[in-house]
Amino acid sequence: MIEVSRSDVVQDYLMDMNPETRFIKLPIEGYLDLLNVTPNTSQTAIINAINNPKYRFITAAVSRRQGKTYISNIIGQLTCLVPGAHVLLMSPNYALSQISFDLQRNLIKHFDLEVTRDNAKDKVIELSNGSTIRMGSINQVDSVVGRSYDLIIFDEAALTDGRDAFNVALRPTLDKENSKAIFISTPRGRNNYFAEFYYRGWTEEFPEWCSIKATYHENPRVSDADIEEARKTMSQAEFNQEYMADFNVFEGQVWAFNHEECTADLKELDTSQMDVFGGLDVGYKDPTAFCVIAYDWDKEKYYLVDEYMNAERTTEQHAIEIRKLIDKWDIDWIYIDSAAQQTRYDFAQNYDISTINAKKSVLDGIGHVAGIVDNDDLIVDQTCKQAQMSLDQYQWDPNPNLLKEKPKHNMSSHMADALRYALYTFETTATTF
């Protein structure tokens, strides 16, 4: 199944567009014929979207074995056949950028193009026509800024957080009239920059964005036997992620939060008859995270109504913000990381904020929250973006050498810990109040 957000981007055939206005100036059909490539529907849609002068930013969420890296490199090289063009292929890390570098070399060799520079260390290829194609990685984005690009391709975009790399470092380099960017990947959950960019293409608020989603059904080279083998050897989450291009689940996800049913506008929620409590995870370089939860005993529902998260702030700065939330919601109890005893002391002595040591059994706490989430008993206010991200992106550490399961330490961990402290400690101690 393929979904294309813009009705003027077709997926059944390569559109015949005006050579003066389309992005790829050279006839792509002949180029593909020489490679003996017949593009599938997702590849066709990507080409038609990039050629359409209306769309500067194309986000393609495509399943495994769609030839996404290959078609990206083909588009990159076709762009560089025009003299003086500059293309940047971004990957999450060095190893993946090497794949694109080797592929570009093979394409250049296939068409016997004249190369004036081939720098394996810097991963830059310069053609005799003055065009360049450069490989870069998200974790070293500073090394590829400083020039204008005609096209930037983010390959496997969802594997890393490229929001700042694009918005801060690279978008200013797309300063030519028809410069473009492609973001292409299998999804990794829905609360990340790749998902955000994908959903832009489905709104009229971002008319320069076009989005494409394609499952394994769009690849005619995938056999029924291949799919059956994948279903047997993968978890359901992994299969949905890799073969169905599903944004809602991904392999290693700790909690399967139902965003459609459990995200709501809670600004009118009356919490006066509810127990209201908070969870606090303390950090410095890592953010300090605080969530506010109300429990309705009659409905047996939890409502996450507010949040605070910030890094590299003083205890006083955190205390001021948390005090505002205490007063706003009339918070009854705050459960704090029991390792943060100095913060607990300072809060009590200097800012009149009383806290309770949280129960910290990680796996038991995760399991407890999972039971609440799985039953759709946690409703999150639509403005609490950090909590939504944590519920979506909190994941198990894939390190095979671990003696037991543990969650991965990332930007989702901090609010996830605060959420766990709050829910696990409240429900296991509430009857003692």
Give which of 324, 386, 343, 335 is closest to 365, Cα–Cα: 335
Q: Confirm if 138 and 91 have CB atoms less than 8 A apart.
A: yes
Residue 99: the pLDDT is 86
**Distance in angstroms (rounded) separating the CA atoms of residues 1 and 40:** 12
The count of domains in the chain is 2
**Distance in angstroms (rounded) separating the CA atoms of residues 115 and 128:** 6
Quote the domain boundaries for residue 288: 259-432
Say if residue 159's pLDDT is above 50: yes
Are 21 and 102 in the same domain?
yes
Say if residue 260's pLDDT is above 50: yes
> To which H or E segment does residue 294 belong?
strand 288-296
**Domain presence at residue 253:** no
Are 177 and 113 in the same domain?
yes
Say if residue 238's pLDDT is above 90: no
Confidence of residue 428 (pLDDT cuts 50, 70, 90): confident
**Distance in angstroms (rounded) separating the CA atoms of residues 18 and 2:** 26
**Exposure of 377 in the CB half-sphere (CA atoms within 13 A):** 17
Are 290 and 326 in the same domain?
yes
Say if residue 299's pLDDT is above 70: yes
Are 297 and 238 in the same domain?
no
Report the helix count and the strand count for the chain, using DSSP H and E: 14, 16
156 is catalytic: yes
Q: Is 172 exposed, middle or buried (0-12, 13-18, 19+ CB in 10 A)?
A: exposed
Say if residue 77's pLDDT is above 80: yes
**Distance in angstroms (rounded) separating the CA atoms of residues 178 and 93:** 28
**Domain presence at residue 402:** yes
pTM for the model stands at 0.69
Region 126-134 average pLDDT: 93
Percent of residues in the chain assigned helix, strand, coil, to nearest 5: 40, 20, 40
Are 154 and 179 in the same domain?
yes
Q: Confirm if 390 and 253 have CB atoms less than 8 A apart.
A: no
Selected catalytic residue, list 29, 114, 126, 156: 156
Residues 6+ apart with CB under 8 A from 79: 23, 24, 85, 87, 131, 150, 151
**Domain presence at residue 252:** no
Token pair for 170: 């690279």
SS3 290: strand
**Exposure of 124 in the CB half-sphere (CA atoms within 13 A):** 11
